[in-house]
Structure formats: C-alpha cells, structure tokens
A = this chain, B = another copy of it.
Amino acid sequence: MKLPSKYLEKAVEELSSLPGIGKRTALRLALNLLNRTEVEIETFARSLTDMKDFLKNCNICHNVSDAEVCSICNNPKRDLTTICIVEDIRDILAIEATDTFKGGYHVLGGVISPMDGIGPSDLNISALLDRIENGAITEIIFALSPTMEGDTTNYYLFKKLCNKEILITCLSRGVSVGTELQYADENSLGKSLLYRQPFKTNS
C-alpha cells in the first residue's frame, strides 16, 4: 500500500504497530483522526503521553495507580492477608467485576514463557517474595490463565512458596456456568469430574 504522504505513512505505521491493528485498519483510524480538529488530535496524543508520564505502579501490588499505593491496597475494608496473583491489570478488572473477592492482588506483569523469552526474573516475583517475607499473608490464590504458560508459572511459584506457612490455592477449573455439558471441552469436563465438590443447595 503506497500512501501519497510520508506523514500519513508514518502515522499509519505507528498505528499498525498496535496489537490487532493491520495496515488497512490503521489507515481508517488515521483518516478518522485527520478529520478532527488540531485541538482534538492534540488531546488524543497528550492522553497517551500523559498516561506514560504520570501513571504509577502501586508500590505494594504493582497495579497501575495514580498514587504510590493503589486504591485497593489503600482500602482498609480489604483483607490484605489474602493475595490473588494475577498476570496483568485486566485480570484485576475481571475479578473485581465478579464482586466476590475482598482481598488484595499481586500483578506479575506476565507469565513465564520461554518461547517469548520471558523468564521468572522478568516478572514481579521477587517483590512478591518480599511481601510474603515481611507481611502477614496467610493465603495466596493463583489466578493465572489456565494455559500452559500460566500453569508453568503456578508451578514455579508453588516451588518457591511451598516451604512457607501459607495456604496456597488455585482457581477451580471445571465446566463453565451456562454451557451445555455435551459442548464442554473434554479437558474442562475431565477436571470438573476429578475435582467434584460436595453438593450444596445454595451453590
């Protein structure tokens, strides 16, 4: 695709560097931006640089935050003795949306993935170990994605934590709520049989 302007070309190139945005979509976005006023584009661009310049990571849990300590770690109503280990902040949003967890979080910033060159030292693991060493943490919940990489990371963390006096739990795996059993994938169905739970009428 040969564009008639090097400025447009540069904007399309930058936009198409975003995940899931191809050249054609990038051109559509660039032309949409081009139809806005200078002030609007300035505001758009500023919002991105401001995000980088002013966004902090919570000193405790590494969640994004405007302050040194995020609103979850700072909330006296939350029970920070139970820590949920997540991959990134989108997982926090997903868990918060369930409204069933009132503990704290720890954002790893990724999962161990040798294929992508991500090892344990690239993740916020030492900060987690420090937290456990210093704090009064009684339970760690592994809430990483149920993928190969998530499980590898769970195993790595388990090895690091199993000699400490902490309860280590993991999100339950099984059939999704609302699916028809015949369409459930065999892996999840197998797990749901293996880890079957005592029947309760209010569950």
Contacts and interface: CB of A to CB of B under 8 A. Distances in A.
B41 A48 contact: yes
Lowest 4 CB-CB distances: which A-B pairs, in order?
A: A45-B45, A11-B51, A14-B47, A41-B52
A31 B19 CA distance: 10
Contact of A45 (B46, B65, B66): B46
B33 A51 contact: yes
A50 B20 contact: no
A105 to B, nearest CB: 10
A112 interface: no
A88 interface: yes
Give the bracket for the number of chain A residues in contact with chain B.
Answer: 35 or more
B50 A7 contact: yes
Contacts of A96: 2
Contacts of A53: 38
Given A38-B52, A41-B52, A52-B38, A32 B18 contact: yes
Interface string A85-102: 000111011001100000
Nearest to A32: B19
**Interface of chain A, main secondary structure:** helix
Nearest to A39: B52
Interface stretch (A21-29, A140-148, A193-201): A21-29
Interface of A: 1-8, 10-11, 13-14, 17-21, 25, 27-34, 36, 38, 41-55, 63-66, 70-72, 88-90, 92-93, 96-97
A41 B49 contact: yes
Contacts of A49: 38, 41-42, 45
10 contacts: A4-B66, A4-B89, A5-B64, A7-B51, A8-B51, A8-B64, A10-B50, A19-B32, A30-B51, A34-B52
B5 A55 contact: yes
